[in-house]
Amino acid sequence: MSVRSEKTIVDIAEELGLSVSTVSRALNDHPNISAKTKEKVRKMARKLGYRPNAMAAGLRNNKSRTIGLIIPRISMFFPAAITTVVQNKLQEYGYHLIICQSNDSLEQEQQLVNTLYSARVDGLAVSATLSTTDFSHFDIFKQHNIPVVFFDRTPKDYQAKVIKGDDFVGGLTATEHLIEQGCRDIVHISGPLTCNLYVERLAGYKSALQQHKVPFKKQRVFFHELTRENALATAGKIFAQQPYPDGIFATNDTTAITLLQYCREHGIRVPEDVKIVGYSNDPRTEIVTPSITSVDQFPATMGERVVSALMDLIQTRHPAGYRHPQEIVPTQLVVRDSSAGSPKKKK
């Protein structure tokens, strides 16, 4: 069996009787090469099945024109929306994107960091796992002055560029809205407090209660990974006995949608008996019945800022120890039917 070998510019040069340097310039659209020669070279390249070796080119000029992206799960609305924006914006700058998902596994995240470093990416954008508290596995990028931008799920003290949503204000606004609708017994469903998102959303929830003199009830706060299965288990606890809460602030929309379905199946009326607010403004919140009030995180804005920060860092190499300014993307409450209704008389 014959072994298929990759064709190179040397093969093209031999077929056409041209020098290797002329073929190389023609393939790279050099202005000193005539249009006729360029077309002849490209035609032969297609005939031979020639494929440019981007890695070799990257080794020569120390640029791969590639960015690495690590996100928790591609199936989640918010990181998926950001990924689309990042890829499209990078293409405008002439960069390609390698998309990796950690599956919320710290071990997998660590492996992906090493893989992308070995792939010689020019920069890295990361939304960390729920359990990432030690970010030292990213040191290899810092040590070689390769830009790293953290977004959404970000480190607290690690020296790097950070772009995140205004989660404190998001939590505050969501809870305040429920209070303004007359709710006085508000459940908060949070993700693990190892993640910055949920620390800040919980702080916003507590602040709203305090400002409006609504008692904080520890038994009304639940912490777990925000999956459908966990949401169903929590719903069973919330509605196990009366009195039921009159408001629920869930810190992701999968949980909010699951709670809505649970209430419908158990004869609990939304918003008459309990009002629900979610987080992320997943498109599903607009099409379920009743539609769900949610906090918009503006993924398009965040994705654009991630790319802008990467391009800036690639073009401007900062010295070791440089403190990158943190960027905060505003949030906005989108009010829908799940929290509608006339405010109840406050006691």
Residue that wins the pLDDT comparison between 25 and 338: 338
The residues that bridge with 124 in the sheet, in sequence order, are 68, 148
Handedness of CA 99, 105, 110, 111 (dihedral sign): negative
DSSP class of residue 290 equals S
Pairing of strands 332-334, 327-329: unpaired
The per-residue pLDDT for range 41-65, each reduced to its tens digit, is 999 988 888 877 655 555 555 677 9
Sign of CA dihedral 152, 153, 155, 156: positive
N-terminal to C-terminal alpha carbon distance within the chain: 85
3 state DSSP class of 99: strand
d(CA 205, CA 172): 5
Q: Which residues contact 51 (CB under 8 A, 6 or more apart)?
A: 6, 7
Q: How far apart are the C-alpha atoms of 199 and 178, rounded to whole Å?
A: 20
Element (H, E) at 333: strand 332-334
Torsion from C-alpha of 106, 109, 115, 118, nearest 10 degrees: -90
pTM of the model: 0.82
Phi and psi torsions of 137, nearest 5°: -70, -10
Dump pLDDT digits (tens) for 158-213: 999 999 999 999 999 999 999 999 999 999 999 999 999 999 999 999 999 999 99
